[in-house]
Amino acid sequence: MGVLLISPEKCTGCRACELACSFAHEGEFNPARSRVSVLSPGGEDLSAPVMCLQCEQAACVTACPEHAIHEDARTGARVVNNTRCIECKMCMHVCPFGCTSYDSVGRRIIKCDLCGGDPQCAKVCPSGAIRSVERASLSIARRRQTAQKLKAILGRGSEQ
Amino acid sequence: MTFGWRGQILRVNLTHGTFDSVPLSREETKTLIGARGLAAHLYAQHEAAAKKNESQDNALIFATAPLTGTLFSNSGRFSVVTRPAPNANLSCAALGGAWGPELKYAGFDAIVIEGKSSKPVYLWISNGEIELRDAGSVWGKNVRECSERLRSACHRSARVCCIGPAGENGLSVAAVVSDMHIASCARGVATTFGEKNLKAIVVRGTTGIRVAHPTEFMEKVQKLRRTSSSLHLRCMGSKLQGPVLQINSALEDDEALLDDGVRPTGCFGCMSVFTSFTNTRTDETLSCLRAETSAQNAQLQEQREFVDLGLDYVLTKALLSSGKFGGARNDDATMAGRLAHGEFGAAASEEMQPEEVSHSGCTVGGYVMVPGALTSGRESDLEKRLMLAAAELVGSCAFAASRLSAEQIASLLRLATGVDYSPEDVLRAGEKIAEMTCQKESLSDANNCH
């Protein structure tokens, strides 16, 4: 089961993830209908991808009155059952990251579904700001990054 | 249903404050494709109509390309075309950033600006809703402040293409600036903004671009994206004194770049932001990204300041070093400010004209200069240069274009638009647009064509 590892400090703001996402889900290049957004709150020079982190204790799952959001056993993604969904938007109110949204064109709730196990955003990200990793190895991947930073700080960055 | 394109052209008349949108036909884009080509086509249309009405009106045309705003790498491109003087060649500024894609998401492939406003205005496009608004509060303001104010007034996610004080004051060294720091200077383009009393065009779009053959298009684009990181890329043009030129892919090196606390950033869709640059004069490899915090820092900071004033860095720097304005050499930023704000009048920069030959490169983020496809001095191979010109017509940045073949461009065009383009069509379009916007003799003589 996969999960997306986000390294915001690597994001260049190219927005390829938004294009790949909207293309995979809606068949068009349209950042406004993407499940991931590249935002630059501190000005154009600094940007970061913001997307669903597939919470274990997901507020959207708990809050949904129709039990329309569930964990996909194969991919580990929290996915919306659009047949059950009544579009009450409770999931949007409770998500601490703002990562469930309403697609006014398709008239349905949309959120990251990890593309059925093959996340397209990670595939196109040129800088490794979004990577698809096994859930079990998420923390070791992060620790590796920390170790590398420490190494650089200690002035031995060039030795591998 | 149009593919690749959005199928609508917005026409704005500043004299009367009116708008209308006209459909874009397939025939119009078959010969000259998009960007500079589509703009040249629309300019000819405008001129024919103006002749009928016995008007001398000069239009300002913004045009995107069929691949602009798609996942094709470095697809944030659009062109701005005008005629700088009666009987002069068309002049074209080519820019990147997210403005061009945003215009397509708003539903338009191009904008034709006619007439002249009696007071400073800016154009606000939110999907199909168009409004001309008073620009009194941002007239005279620098690019960054203007862009931020207009975004607050219109929409947080809107994109701004504007001029700085230099363009308002009619300086020949003025540049058009997209997305706050992507600047391009072509003869008469920024000053035409000023003459029309147009400060900026602000765009916000939430509709999508579809392609004719989605699966094949995506496969092709993904393949190009994968290979583009491993190919050796050569880049031309030597106008920026300092840290530009030869590009080598350096994706594996990104951790090292980040160690310095430097954030690599780029235009919309850019894959070249990770490349490292070799200064051809000294053969010393330096990363332009890392450069921002190291040796080149002062110069790059200065370049950002020039762009903020709406000035072309290279031309202005040359003008200031001519000694005409006196002052210490290290005080160029102050002098540039006074120049941009019109203290010396528009005539002060007259001697410094962007070449008659259209100059279409742009400076990005204060550290890279994207060379103009047609105007690159080093490339002597004419066919290669026509191919680069053609790549610009489909919406590719020169950085990405150097890796493409005419066959690849034609195939991307076919998959995106569903129209049957051949590699010959593509090269012919490149040649045709070269004739229209660049003098033929200088095209084959690399030395005259910078």
Strand pairing class (B284-286; A130-134): unpaired
Contacts of A26 in chain B (CB under 8 A): 208
B258-309 pLDDT per residue, tens: 444 445 566 788 776 544 333 333 333 333 433 333 334 456 667 778 889 9
Cβ contacts from A onto B, under 8 A: 92
Torsion angles phi and psi, residue B432, rounded to 5: -65, -45
From B206, B207, B270, residue closest to A14, measured CB to CB: B270
DSSP state of A30: -
B240 band by pLDDT with thresholds 50, 70 and 90:
very low
Calculate the dihedral angle through the C-alpha atoms of B32, B353, B84, B238, rounding to the nearest 10 degrees. 10
Q: Provide residues of B within 8 Å CB-CB of chain A.
A: 69-71, 73, 98, 105, 179-181, 205-211, 214, 218, 222, 225, 229, 251, 254-256, 258-259, 263-271, 273-274
Mean pLDDT of B91-110: 93
> Can you give the pLDDT at residue B244?
36
Nearest CA-CA distance, residue A97 and chain B, Å: 18
Q: B36-45, B229-238, B248-257, B434-443: which has the highest mean pLDDT?
A: B36-45
pLDDT for residue B121 is more than 90 = yes
> Can you give the pLDDT at residue A61?
96
> Can you give the pLDDT at residue B299?
61
Inter-chain residue contact A23 with B71, CB threshold 8 Å: yes
Mean pLDDT of B207-214: 96
Q: Which two tokens stand for residue B165?
A: 């004080």
A111-150 pLDDT per residue, tens: 999 999 999 999 999 878 899 988 888 888 788 878 877 8
Inter-chain residue contact B71 with A20, CB threshold 8 Å: yes
pLDDT for residue B311 is more than 60 = yes
Q: Which two tokens stand for residue B25?
A: 């036909």
> Can you give the pLDDT at residue B359?
41
Helix B406-417 and helix B423-437, axial crossing angle in degrees, nearest 10: 100
From the DSSP assignment, how many helices (H) and strands (E) are in chain A? 5, 8
Helix B36-52 and helix B423-437, axial crossing angle in degrees, nearest 10: 50
With beta carbons less than 8 A apart as the criterion, state whether B100 and B69 touch. Answer: yes
- Cα separation, A21 vs A115, whole angstroms: 8
Compare B434 and B263 and report the one with higher pLDDT.
B434
> Can you give the pLDDT at residue A156?
55
> Can you give the pLDDT at residue B326?
67
DSSP state of A2: E
- Cα separation, B112 vs B40, whole angstroms: 11
Please report where in the chains the tokens 């049957």 appear, as a residue.
B420
B96, B108, B230, B267, B388 from B75: Cα distances, Å: 8, 16, 19, 9, 14
* B284-286, strands of its sheet edge to edge: B246-248, B276-279, B284-286
Q: A45-49, A142-146, B335-339: which has the highest mean pLDDT?
A: B335-339
pLDDT for residue B256 is more than 60 = no
Task: Please spell the DSSP secondary structure of B261-297, one letter per residue.
Answer: T-----STT-SGGG-EEEETTTTEEE-HHHHTTSTTH
Q: In this predicted structure, which of B92-106, B154-168, B248-262, B324-338 has the lowest mean pLDDT?
A: B248-262
Nearest to B404 by CA among B428, B378, B386: B386
Mean pLDDT of B109-115: 97
> Can you give the pLDDT at residue B122?
98
Q: In this predicted structure, which of A59-63, A136-140, B43-47, B435-439 has the lowest mean pLDDT?
A: B435-439
Percent of chain B with pLDDT over 90: 45
B415 band by pLDDT with thresholds 50, 70 and 90:
very high
> Can you give the pLDDT at residue B399?
67
B171-206 pLDDT per residue, tens: 998 999 998 878 888 888 999 999 999 999 999 999
Compare B86 and B42 and report the one with higher pLDDT.
B42
Q: Which amino acid is at B436?
A: M
pTM of the shown model: 0.88
- Cα separation, A151 vs A157, whole angstroms: 5
B44-84 pLDDT per residue, tens: 999 999 999 999 899 999 999 999 999 998 888 899 999 98
Mean pLDDT of B14-32: 91
pLDDT for residue B120 is more than 90 = yes
Question: Hey, CA dihedral for B377, B381, B385, B391, is it positive or negative?
Answer: negative
> Can you give the pLDDT at residue B369?
53
Compare B258 and B8 and report the one with higher pLDDT.
B8
Inter-chain residue contact A124 with B206, CB threshold 8 Å: no
- Among A17, A25, A26, A30, the strongest candidate for a mutation testing the B interface, having the largest count of B CBs within 10 A, is A30
Nearest CA-CA distance, residue B305 and chain A, Å: 15
Mean pLDDT of B379-406: 75
pLDDT for residue B162 is more than 60 = yes
Inter-chain residue contact B269 with A19, CB threshold 8 Å: yes
A31 band by pLDDT with thresholds 50, 70 and 90:
very high
* B159-163, strands of its sheet edge to edge: B129-134, B121-126, B198-204, B159-163, B176-178, B182-184, B362-364, B368-370
